[in-house]
Amino acid sequence: MSRELGSLHESQRLGTQIGDILRPTTWSHAVKLYASIPAAIPVAGATDLLLELSRSSGNENGSPVTLIDLWGLPDCSEITIEDKDVVIGCGVTHNQIIDAQNLDSALDILRSACIEIGSPQLRNRATVVGNIVTASPANDTISALVALDASVLIESVDTQRRVPIREFFTGFRKTTLMNSELVRSITIPRWNRNTVGTWFKVGNRTAQAISVLHAGIVIEFDGQSPLVTRADIALGSVSETVNVSALLSEYLVGRELNAETAATAARIAADDIEPIDDIRATADYRTSVTGAALQRALIGLSNFSVSESRTAPLLGWIASRPDPPQPSLSPTSNISCTVNESIVTAPIAHHSTLLEWLRANASTGTKEGCAEGECGACTIKLNGAAVTSCLVPTAQADGSSLVTIEGLATGSALHPVQQKFLDKFAVQCGFCTPGFLVAASALLAENDSPSKEDIEAGLSGNLCRCTGYYSIVESLSSLSAKTELS
């Protein structure tokens, strides 16, 4: 409760409002726009940005911010394999990385990190470049990219420069980016046959967990002997920035990697970090878990073996994204969407998120639970991909096709997922149910015979406080592979 009469609690404040949204159609156009409006904010997946805006009190004069929408730009949303490098465009999402199999073994480390980012709905929106620009040491992909010795291509209207990712971060949530500079891509060197690596994470939950520790490890061996010639080990979420441990590299290079050297290397790493205390873990715990987890990982690599490449449900990720029908939008602009096969046209107004716009104009069945992308109650399908609509800027839905809970049934016939939820009593209070049903329909459209593990991974972005999940998992497990799904 507020201490002063008439003042609002921080949870009641509106935060920073979105004003104009500029939608360039090419990368060069985006760079020129940013040069002409340096106070604007570049945005792609927007999963971090919308949270930051909702929690901030606005700029100095309290006016709305201008966004430059980079989402889906065709000339920077691809993964390119070159002779010596893999290039990841600034619009590439985490699910896009997960879906891109057999590109290069170096990407398996990054893929493992991407799988641990949030939920399938979040990964359908969040980009790898966005993860590094946010620059939190808890961002899982950073340790993978630092260990992989990636570099960052930065462009402005006047300059182009390439910065090693190990020099990109200058402090907690700080980078080397200057005014009107944009990150165009990340370049990862391809591995030779003597290189192995892994990535791991320690968290307080199995899904939707911010890391207590995450680490990327790349080890290169001498082709003629078992000696280590390169050891790049990056530890994240333990200090203010993610860096390769120089002491650890110095110790391992020139030695054979075995149980003894792995144990010593783990002790060196634990002593070398400057662990932080926060709500997720104490500094002492971080020191202890760093040593134990790193020792296990290095022993695993000592046999020149790596863990199997992991996969995860994508919940409808697709490569194609529709071109924006309007080059610029404002709160007074109308957007038009096909919502459950019917066209809905309405002004953006003060509705910064697609969830707000839908509830005001089309779909009251789509619920707001957390407004932070954590609970999944607001899950919808956006151009076929399941997303949390509370983290999608309204303007980015212009011209898109949306499916909400109201669109799953066909006339009076329930969607098979809806029917199974009824049959198995998978509903209690019902608040989370719309999000579960939309996410489940996306999962089953992708995999009509999901295992229990597939179901749990596919629904990891949806929280329920009533059922204990057992009846939800059972309802999906009971669906026949021959069931007609849409």
Residue 166: other Cβ atoms inside 10 A: 18
The tokens for 438 are: 């939309």
User: 169 lies in a domain?
Assistant: yes
User: 212 lies in a domain?
Assistant: yes
What pLDDT, on a 0 to 100 scale, did the predictor assign at position 467? 81
Check whether residue 23 and residue 112 sit in a common domain. no
Q: Is the pLDDT of residue 62 over 70?
A: no
Q: Is the pLDDT of residue 471 over 70?
A: yes
Check whether residue 280 and residue 218 sit in a common domain. yes
Asked if residue 86 lies in contact with residue 103, where contact means CB atoms within 8 angstroms, the answer is yes
User: At 481, is the pLDDT very low, low, confident or very high (cuts 50, 70, 90)?
Assistant: very low
Check whether residue 83 and residue 56 sit in a common domain. no
Check whether residue 289 and residue 225 sit in a common domain. yes
Q: pTM of whole model > 0.75?
A: yes
User: At 325, is the pLDDT very low, low, confident or very high (cuts 50, 70, 90)?
Assistant: confident
Asked if residue 148 lies in contact with residue 108, where contact means CB atoms within 8 angstroms, the answer is no
Check whether residue 268 and residue 132 sit in a common domain. yes
Q: Is the pLDDT of residue 370 over 70?
A: yes
The tokens for 431 are: 């608040």
Check whether residue 54 and residue 166 sit in a common domain. no
What pLDDT, on a 0 to 100 scale, did the predictor assign at position 307? 60
Q: By residue range, what is the domain housing residue 53? A: 11-69
Q: Is the pLDDT of residue 94 over 90?
A: yes
What is the C-alpha to C-alpha distance for residues 77 and 112, in angstroms, rounded to an integer?
20
One DSSP character per residue, 23-57 reads: --SSHHHHHHHHHH-TTSEEESS-TTHHHHHHHS-
How many distinct structural domains can be found in the chain? Answer: 3
Q: Roughly how many angstroms between the first and final C-alpha of the chain, as a whole number?
A: 47
What pLDDT, on a 0 to 100 scale, did the predictor assign at position 8? 56
SS3 state of residue 6: coil
Check whether residue 95 and residue 120 sit in a common domain. yes
What is the C-alpha to C-alpha distance for residues 465 and 420, in angstroms, rounded to an integer?
20
Name the average pLDDT for the chain.
Answer: 90
Q: Is the pLDDT of residue 2 over 60?
A: no
What pLDDT, on a 0 to 100 scale, did the predictor assign at position 271? 92
Report strand pairing: 401-403 vs 334-339: parallel
Domain CATH number, residue 97: 3.30.465.10
What is the C-alpha to C-alpha distance for residues 362 and 11, in angstroms, rounded to an integer?
26
Q: Is the pLDDT of residue 128 over 90?
A: yes
Q: Which helix (H) or strand (E) holds 98?
A: helix 94-99
Check whether residue 84 and residue 58 sit in a common domain. no
> What does the pLDDT look like over 397-424, one tens digit per residue?
999 999 999 999 998 899 999 999 999 9
One DSSP character per residue, 383-420 reads: TTEEEEGGGSBGGGGTT-EEE-GGGSSBTTBPPHHHHH
Check whether residue 215 and residue 180 sit in a common domain. yes
Buried/exposed 384-411: b ≥16 CB within 10 Å, e otherwise: bbbbbbbbbbbbbbbebbbbbbebbeee
Q: Which residue has the higher pLDDT, 79 or 102?
A: 79
